[in-house]
Chains A and B, each alone.
Chain A
Amino acid sequence: MTQAPTLRASGIVKVYPGVKALDEADLVLHGGEVHALMGENGAGKSTLVGIIAGAQRPDAGEIHLDGLPVSPSSPGHARGLGIRAVHQELTLLPHLSVAENLAIGGYPSRAGVIGWRAVRRRAREALAELGLSIDPRRPVGELPIAIRQLVAIAREMQGEARVLILDEPTSSLDRTETERLFEVVRAARDRGVAIVFITHFLDQVYEIADRVTVLRGGRVVGAGRTADLPRLRLISLMLGRDVAERESRLAGRNGESEPAEEASAPVVCARGLRRGRALRGASLEVRRGEVVGLAGLLGSGRTELARAMFGADRPDAGQLAVDGRRRRLTPRRSSRLGIGLCPEDRKSQGLCLGLSVAEGLTLAMRAKRGWWRPLRRGERQEIVGRLTRDLAIRAVDSRAAVGTLSGGNQQKVLLGAWIATNPRVLLLDEPTRGVDIGAKDEILRRVRSMCDHGLGVVFISAELEEIVRACDRVVVMRDRETVGELRSGEIDEHRIMRMIGAERRA
């Protein structure tokens, strides 16, 4: 590298209560390059770019911009320094025109009167620089999401932009829209801007990024030129398993219960489920007493498949059958049929944080029973006591609000709530994320022991080691479809990674 880096962040540490979000993370950005920032959920990507963009303050570490130390104290400050960010939730104002959105923060004015002609001229210039031909008078809200992304980028590119951070800009775009975005990104790159590109799509990384930094658990686990980093290596860095290590792990899979008989009929069976851009053909069946792993990178459609199988989202096409009968599922019907879902985002979708632990544990059960059925105090105490004991939920007492518990204990409450419904199939979406090691083990062990009593489980996890350890069968998803299945003898991390990482078919 002959050229000095545009931005160098070194030794960044950020601690949240109970979690070290970033642990001595480094990031070096060069002007005129696209830098992919990779990692699973919770790896610390958002925190790192948030610190660089001034949204959060680091607990330790320093940032150098063009060789000079800076400490962005607010997004506005960072903007002034030339560090610009386009977030996933677009921050454009939908009712204002493109030109007004581009001018926000600095309307050209004379004696306090805004020069609208200048506003439009500048907007046209800013758009033209990125090769965009959008009518600056149109309200942003009328534009498709993809074009809004481009407007947002154009806005951030105005003035002295040095660093441009794109947080998952392609997550809701289709192929041609992504192409268009990439053209704009290349145009920005060619103007010497250092670009940070966060995505989960491997193909896109290899298509556009010059360099990659991989984060896992708040640490940088790999960094280098994209060309020097083979696909498989990148996946193993993200998922945290060294490919060389795999044989020993596989041997560690102790003789847990043999997979259920193939002969038994599936309880829930999904065939060819499609739903907009979220699912493009996914099939999965669950039988009694088996744990089916659902592996794939973030954004591969694993969460969407689980939600569709629970009836949380209605598929556009495909078949869903429970006990061999086709069904249109809703969460209520699924619950009655003995299917439960522990959603991935437990705080916003899984739990009512203001309820007490006892109420949280009995909510799903009472919903399944029907509103009119009273729950006698003794029965309630018995259920709550049993679940608290079995899952080792550590709460001050059962009247404490769920929101006051630690992440691991919240997860146990969510799991316990479904166990209380006496389900036949549980769909567990990342049940071990953000949970400490001890709780992880307790959750996994509990799930296994219920399977021995006939429960069927779909287990989604970003951690392949867990999948290998816990599952009887693994279904792999890529690009929003199910692409393969591994049976009990064949499950190892290397095979799963190869299926995840296979090139997109043309």
Chain B
Amino acid sequence: MSRPGRTAPRVWWPLIALAALTGFNLLWTDGFARLGLDDGVLRGPVVDVVRNAAPLVIIAVGMALVIATAGVDLSVGSTLAMAGAVVAVLLTGPRWGPVPAIAAGLGAGLGIGLVAGVLVSGIGLQPIVATLVLLACVRGGAQLLTDGRTVSFQDSMVLALASGHIGAIPVPVVVAGAWLVGLVALVRTTALGLFLEAIGDNPVAARLAGVPVARVMMFAYVVAGVGAALAGIIVAADIRAADPTTAGKAIELDAILAVVLGGTALAGGRFSLCGAAVGAVLIKLLDTTVVARGVPAQATLVVKAGVVLVVCVLLSDRFRAALLGGLGRR
């Protein structure tokens, strides 16, 4: 890898946490290890976890780019709902075909990302304010679009985005994997990744070095918007309906958490897309584990918070230095 190791984010810690939690489940959760081919299709609890994590992975990867610029995108949950609503309405109302409907859904995400980018890098609003406005306004727009109702649809090609398989692998997993690999390739072979990190590290210095700061920030928000839309279409396909009121509610918080768990600091600069993806899977596995262990529903959030706290503490340089220092002195 040409990635400089010394200053790279610590993608190892979330991976270790993921491995530990997987190990725990393999040992103590009944049937977790079940994995098999059924009609030439991979099935089992592990597959379900990854498949369910796919929308969050897609969103978290986009969020990582935004956070790298020292911003944040709170509008992803609303964008998710909007994209689902656009696709559902176009399929059922004017009876558009699946391909143009999906394109329109993704286009909505792109548009929302552009608006966020303009508000932040063009007008100079604080990211948290700009995207908070969009969070409210886009969800409102989605509700207007469907008249506040849940719109069901039955297009087989769109449904396949959630329930289909390519070879033995579920389509959402393939889509999320392609999204991740594609973005990593784009960002790390071109200078975009370097520019994003430079902007997050010191926007003044980046500008004086000739980096097109506004355009690179725009790119980050557009990717986050398109990613949220893609996730929204998968989520809608999963339940065969677009629910503009509850779809993607609070998913921005899980996405931010995934990015942080993946070793990207909210202060911006160094980022890791793979880390964000690992973080997203970790969060989903945690959700599954809590349910599978029979933890009462009321307690799930508390358990989740505890595990997340442990990983974040492990990510802290100061904590590790203190720990290693303490051990070294013995």
Contacts and interface: CB of A to CB of B under 8 A. Distances in A.
Interface of A: 310, 312, 331-332, 334-336, 341, 343, 348-356, 358-359, 362-364, 366-375, 377, 380, 397-401, 417, 421
A398 B4 contact: yes
Given A331-B210, A353-B201, A364-B210, A358 B4 contact: yes
A377 B2 CA distance: 7
B195 A350 contact: no
Contacts of B4: 356, 358-359, 398-399
A375 B206 contact: no
Interface in B199-227: 201-202, 204-212, 216
Contacts of B206: 352, 363
Contacts of A369: 191
Closest 6 CB pairs of A and B: A335-B210, A399-B4, A367-B210, A352-B201, A356-B4, A399-B6
B5 interface: yes
B201 A354 contact: yes
A331 B209 contact: yes
A80 to B, nearest CB: 34
7 contacts: A334-B210, A352-B202, A353-B201, A355-B197, A359-B198, A363-B206, A371-B192
A372 B201 contact: no
Given A375-B191, A380-B2, A356 B7 contact: yes
B270 interface: yes
B195 A367 contact: yes
Interface of B: 2, 4-7, 189-192, 194-195, 197-198, 201-202, 204-212, 216, 269-270
A356 B210 contact: no
A369 B190 CA distance: 11
Q: Which of B192, B194, B195, B207 has the most CB of A within 10 A?
A: B194
Contacts of B201: 352-355
B275 to A, nearest CB: 16
A445 B171 CA distance: 61
Given A356-B6, A371-B190, A373-B190, A332 B197 contact: no
B198 A363 contact: yes
A352 B203 CA distance: 8
Given A350-B208, A351-B205, A363 B194 contact: yes
Q: Which of A336, A354, A375, A401 has the most CB of B within 10 A?
A: A354
A358 B198 CA distance: 13
A158 B5 CA distance: 56
Nearest to A342: B208
Contact of B7 (A331, A350, A355, A375): A355
B279 to A, nearest CB: 20
Q: Which of B192, B205, B270 has the most CB of A within 10 A?
A: B205
A226 B204 CA distance: 40
Contacts of A343: 208
Given A355-B197, A399-B6, A363 B208 contact: no
Contacts of B191: 366-367, 369-375
A374 B189 contact: yes
Nearest to B188: A374
B95 to A, nearest CB: 40
A374 B190 contact: yes
A407 B217 CA distance: 30
A350 B194 contact: no
A374 B194 CA distance: 11
Contacts of B205: 348-352
B330 to A, nearest CB: 28
A368 B6 contact: no
B189 A367 contact: no
A358 B201 CA distance: 15
Contacts of A417: 209
A349 B204 contact: yes
A358 B2 CA distance: 11
A147 B269 CA distance: 39
A359 B4 CA distance: 9
B202 A368 contact: no
Q: Which of B192, B197, B210, B212 has the most CB of A within 10 A?
A: B210
